[in-house]
């Protein structure tokens, strides 16, 4: 509560006592009352009572505000301690698990190089290698998300059209998008307004979204990327005709490690969308997701424009 509000509330009884005094002065109320057979000045009673109530209210409001500030400070300290503990845990996890996973992966690779393996052994080793890679990616994503908690954004002018072109090129080359999945890009014919931010972080966010679209889109599906802007925001939409997300789970997919119940055996760490949302928040933007199970998913990112290019 602000000091102005405190002053207004605490002065109400005193103002009321002044009102009583004014009414007495106008002759609307008798100037003397009888209390316990004693004649007393009504103006004096009203003024003293008003001062007393004002003091009580002012003291009470100040105590409430002090108590509220103490609670907020305690919660803030607890939040900071929790964030620091979480960061230390992830750092230890990264340190402790990195070397064992590297050794496991190297051992699997060496075994796969043997010439006398049967199909069953090869498939088992390949599944093991996939799980090792999945764990390595999970730890990397956890570390990246944790590092972003107190990350100071490197701010420069970002051309989103150029960033998206490089992202699409990277995903197309690395993901080897099946030829029966149609990827289209729609851009407004005018120059997009530029934003102020970190082009590398935005690339990570867009790559995560496109990778998801590729992973969850079925044969003969479509992936569509749209770039546009309005007077305030650059708008990036990535939509697919994939398996979609069950409606009750749409908001939960932003949680760390959460994967939709219909994701099945499609590989993933459950960290991608958490990472994307954090990057968008660092750029003071917002992200929304719309999905229908069996039809597809649309993710829309809005990033505040600087000035028109």
Residues 120, 161 share a domain? no
Looking at the structure of the chain, the number of domains it has is 2
- Looking at the domain assignment, is residue 87 inside a domain? yes
CA dist 266 and 260 (Å) reads 11
Sole residue written with tokens 């109320």 = 29
Residue 190 has pLDDT above 60, yes or no: yes
Residue 236 has pLDDT above 90, yes or no: yes
pLDDT tens-place string over residues 251-301 = 888 887 788 888 877 776 677 888 889 889 889 999 999 999 989 999 999
DSSP H or E segment with residue 17: helix 12-25
Q: Which of 150, 170, 187 is the last residue of a domain?
A: 150
Residues 183, 125 share a domain? no
CA dist 214 and 231 (Å) reads 31
- Looking at the domain assignment, is residue 135 inside a domain? yes
Q: Which of 150, 179, 196 is the last residue of a domain?
A: 150
CA angle 66, 69, 70 (to 5 degrees): 85
pLDDT confidence bin for 35, thresholds 50/70/90:
very low
C-alpha dist (Å) from residue 134 to 69, 206, 278: 45, 20, 21
- Looking at the domain assignment, is residue 2 inside a domain? yes
pLDDT tens-place string over residues 88-129 = 665 666 666 777 777 877 887 888 887 777 888 888 887 777
- Looking at the domain assignment, is residue 120 inside a domain? yes
CA dist 216 and 266 (Å) reads 8
Token pair listed for 34: 């009888």
User: Residue 223: which domain range?
Assistant: 156-304
Crossing angle between the packed helical segments 3-10 and 12-25, to the nearest 10 degrees: 40
Residues 232, 162 share a domain? yes
- Looking at the domain assignment, is residue 309 inside a domain? no
Give the pLDDT confidence score for residue 285 in this predicted structure: 93
Q: Which of 90, 122, 150 is the last residue of a domain?
A: 150
Judged by average pLDDT, the poorest of 15-24, 61-70, 113-122 is 15-24
Residues 258, 176 share a domain? yes
Decide if 193 contacts 227 (C-beta within 8 A).
no
Residue 147 has pLDDT above 80, yes or no: no
Please give the DSSP secondary-structure letter assigned to residue 40.
E
Decide if 182 contacts 172 (C-beta within 8 A).
no
Residues 143, 17 share a domain? yes
Residues 26, 120 share a domain? yes
Token pair listed for 93: 């996890």
Considering the entire predicted model, what is its pTM?
0.59
Q: Is 297 left (phi over 0), alpha (psi -120 to 50) or beta?
A: beta
Residues 297, 193 share a domain? yes
Token pair listed for 3: 């000091």
Please give the DSSP secondary-structure letter assigned to residue 265.
T
**Cα Rg for the chain, rounded, in angstroms?**
32
C-alpha dist (Å) from residue 206 to 17, 42, 160, 164, 236: 66, 75, 10, 7, 9
CA 81 centroid distance within chain = 19
CA dist 62 and 70 (Å) reads 12
Task: Tell which residue, 57, 34, 31, 53, has the closest CA to residue 44.
Answer: 31
Decide if 255 contacts 269 (C-beta within 8 A).
no
Residues 253, 127 share a domain? no
Residues 96, 178 share a domain? no
Token pair listed for 35: 């209390």
pLDDT tens-place string over residues 22-31 = 666 666 666 5
Average pLDDT, the chain: 77
CA dist 235 and 201 (Å) reads 17
Residues 143, 5 share a domain? yes
pLDDT confidence bin for 60, thresholds 50/70/90:
confident
Residues 227, 113 share a domain? no
Select the more confidently predicted residue: 137 or 74: 74
Residue 2 has pLDDT above 60, yes or no: no
Give the pLDDT confidence score for residue 39 in this predicted structure: 43
């Amino acid at each position: 509560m602000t000091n102005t509000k405190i002053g207004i509330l605490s002065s109400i009884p005193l103002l009321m006592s002044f009102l009583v005094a004014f009414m007495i002065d106008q002759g609307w109320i008798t100037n003397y009352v009888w209390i316990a057979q004693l004649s007393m000045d009504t103006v004096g009673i009203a003024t003293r009572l008003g001062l007393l109530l004002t003091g009580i209210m002012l003291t009470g409001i100040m105590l409430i505000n002090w108590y509220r500030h103490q609670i907020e400070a305690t919660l803030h300290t607890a939040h900071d301690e929790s964030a620091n503990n979480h960061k230390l845990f992830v750092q230890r996890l990264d340190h402790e698990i990195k070397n064992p996973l590297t050794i496991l992966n190297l051992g699997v690779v060496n075994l796969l190089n043997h010439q006398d393996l049967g199909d069953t052994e090869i498939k088992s080793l390949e599944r093991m290698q996939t799980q090792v890679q999945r764990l390595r990616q999970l730890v990397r994503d956890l570390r990246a998300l944790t590092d972003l908690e107190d990350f100071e954004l490197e701010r420069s002018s970002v051309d989103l059209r150029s960033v998206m072109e490089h992202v699409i090129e990277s995903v197309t080359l690395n993901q080897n998008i099946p030829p029966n999945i149609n990827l289209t890009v729609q851009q407004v014919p005018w120059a997009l307004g530029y934003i102020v931010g970190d082009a590398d972080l935005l690339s990570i966010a867009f790559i995560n979204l496109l990778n998801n679209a590729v992973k969850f889109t079925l044969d003969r599906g479509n992936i569509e990327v749209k770039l546009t802007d309005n007077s305030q925001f650059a708008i990036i939409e990535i939509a697919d005709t994939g398996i979609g997300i069950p409606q009750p789970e749409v908001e939960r997919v932003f949680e760390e490690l959460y994967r939709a119940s219909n994701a099945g055996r499609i590989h993933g760490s459950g960290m991608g969308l958490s990472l994307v949302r954090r990057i968008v928040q660092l750029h003071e933007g917002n992200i929304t997701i719309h999905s229908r199970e069996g039809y597809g998913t649309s993710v829309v990112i809005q990033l505040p424009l600087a000035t028109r290019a």
